Amino acid sequence: MAPTKPLGPDSVVRVSSNQVYSRLGDEVAILELDCGVYYGLNDTGTFLWNLMQEPVRVNDMRAALVEEFDVDANTAEQDLLRVLADLRDAGLIEHVDL
C-alpha cells in the first residue's frame, strides 16, 4: 500500500466512490462498502460532506466553515484537517490530484 499523502490547505478532496450515504434530517449516515461499517456525521460534518460531492480544495472548505459557523480560520483549518484525515483513513473520501 502506498503511503498516504498528507492533507494540507492546498489539498483537493472528494467523497470516495466506495461508499453510499443517506441524509437523516441534519445528519448523514455513510456505509463504507469494503468493510460494511457505518459512520455518522453531525450537522457540521454534513455541511462538509455536501461540499465534497465534487472535488474541493481544503482552503475553500475552511472559508465556507468560517462563513457558515462561528469559528476563526485557524481553528477551522485545524479541525477540518483532523476530520478530513479521519474520513480519508476510513475510506470515505479521497485525495484528488488536479
Give how many domains the chain has, as a whole number: 1
Residue 46 lies in a domain: yes
**4-15 tens-digit pLDDT:** 788 999 999 999
pLDDT tens figures, 15-54:
999 999 999 999 999 999 999 999 999 999 999 999 999 9
The answer to whether 23 touches 9, Cβ cutoff 8 Å, is no
Task: Supply the range of the domain harboring residue 52.
Answer: 12-91
Name the nearest CA neighbour of 87 among 27, 46, 43: 46
Has residue 5 been placed in a domain?
no
Tell me how long the chain is: 98
- What is the reported pTM? 0.90
Rounded Cα–Cα distance for residues 81 and 63 (Å)? 13
